[in-house]
Amino acid sequence: MAEKNDTRLTLFTLNWLRAVLRGERPTGETFWVGNYGTALFHQPLLALLLVLPVSEAIPGTLATLLVLYQLALTRGVARSQPGVPTPLGWKIAGILVTFGHAALFAALVRSLLTSGA
**Tens digits of residue pLDDT in 51-108:** 999 888 899 999 999 999 999 999 999 999 988 888 889 999 999 999 999 999 999 9
Higher pLDDT, 7 or 20: 20
Does 47 fall in a domain? yes
Residue 80 lies in a domain: yes
Structural domain contains residue 94: yes
Q: Is pLDDT above 50 for 1?
A: no
Q: Which domain holds residue 39?
A: 25-114
pTM of the model: 0.87
Judge whether 44 lies within some domain. Answer: yes
With respect to residue 11, please indicate whether it lies within any of the assigned structural domains: no
Assess if residue 66 is contained within a domain.
Answer: yes
- The number of folded domains in the chain is 1
Q: Assess if residue 3 is contained within a domain.
A: no
Cβ neighbors of 73 (< 8 A, separation 6 or more) are 20, 21, 30, 34, 35, 98
Percent of the chain with pLDDT over 90: 73
Question: How far, in Å, CA of 43 to CA of 90, rounded?
Answer: 25
DSSP 26: B
